[in-house]
Amino acid sequence: MAKRALLVGINYPGTKAELKGCINDVNRMYKSLIDRYAFVEEDIVVLIDTDPKFQQPTGVNIRRELSNLVGSAEPGDYLFFHYSGHGTRLPAETGDDDDTGYDECIVPCDMNLITDQDFRELVLKVPDGCVMTIVSDSCHSGGLIDSAKEQIGESTKLNREESNSESSSGGFRSFLKGKVKDAFQSRGIDIPDEILHRRHHSSSYKPEEVEEQENTDGPVKNRSLPLSTLIEMLQEKTGKEDVDVGNIRPTLYHLFGKDASPKFKKFMKILFKRFQEGRLNEGGSGHGGIMGLISGIAQEVLKFKDEDEEEEEEEEEVQSETEAYAGTKKNLPNNGVLISGCQSDQTSADANSPQGAYGACSNAIQELIAESDGQVTNRDLVLNVRKLLAKQGFTQKPGLYCTDKHVDYPFIC
């Protein structure tokens, strides 16, 4: 039996996206793994962006280390991945049947996004008899393992629809507010929920969408990378001003090529096919929507032939356009446990105190680990973290995503 871990902390120093507490989260989790869970230093890989002596948490480095973590696993092993950094979400493509209606993503230091479907495909490779626990203290992290069963949380469409149907008038208002917010998000504009929500039901919550706010511990910033900021940063990286929400995926493919998200590469294969067939901007038949927004940069990318395409023969061929959008649903991710810092439409707090900066969820987890000496189940951890965060004045609600049999498994090991 082996215990292996990958810890990733990203503070994005010197950028529009700068955070303060992510590296501290990783340092505290590193110490907990050794002191409480009997991990050894040689089996813990750390990626941070504030010290050149460490591997940098770029998209390709995170993917490689995740692949190594899972690729070396055997039945009986315990795998652990902790991520503290920005999260973002991209509006779903036409035909995308995601549980939340978005691609939830983590944001590496180079903006080479890693999607919920990427995590799902990773967890599908975890061998039976082995469990991989993922803690993502980032915004929009609910549902980060695409199609995993939601045990504690309010992220999936089904739960949101049930909540909205509590009363016909309230449900319709919530539906309209959701549509308005989605419309602005699809243009890269973040609208704080407090502007849209004037009344709160007992089952609702108020996401932390403001840039700075106060709680008992000091200034709080959220770990969300709004589409507008992501687009600005991509414009800087590419030198192109016509990057917008309609061509984020092609832009990322153009920047990172074979190192881009597998989901984006599948998406680009469909665009290449449409371009070759002269039907790139086809409408109707379920193929309109965001496809019609693709502008000059996307047209340029579609003509770009990946020189390394022949080296990717091992990649599974795209069987359908639906698969390129939403991924194959024939298997469920049974060997993964996700503890999310918040729901898919919430933000996670990056807070400051006299003792230093921290992620609100990561800090609460550490408090409960210390209180229980590490002996706590996944269910009890998430429920008690929710209570502790509420007591501390934070509005985010962590979630638990896993199969029924893993709900009452010990946290980590």
Catalytic positions are 86, 139
Q: Are 126 and 263 in contact (CB under 8 A)?
A: no
Give me 393's structure tokens: 């004045």
Judging by beta carbons within 10 Å of its beta carbon (0-12, 13-18, 19+), is residue 75 exposed, middle or buried? exposed
Calculate the CA 296 to chain-centre distance: 28
Cα 210 to Cα 96, 192, 334, distances in angstroms? 29, 7, 36
Tell me the one-letter amino acid at 348: S
Helices (H), 42-92: 59-71
Q: What is the maximum alpha-carbon separation in the chain? A: 62
CA neighbor of 153 nearest in space, from 165, 166, 170, 140: 140
Q: How many CB atoms lie within 10 A of CB 60?
A: 15
Sign, Cα dihedral of 23, 25, 28, 29: negative
Q: Are 335 and 127 in contact (CB under 8 A)?
A: yes
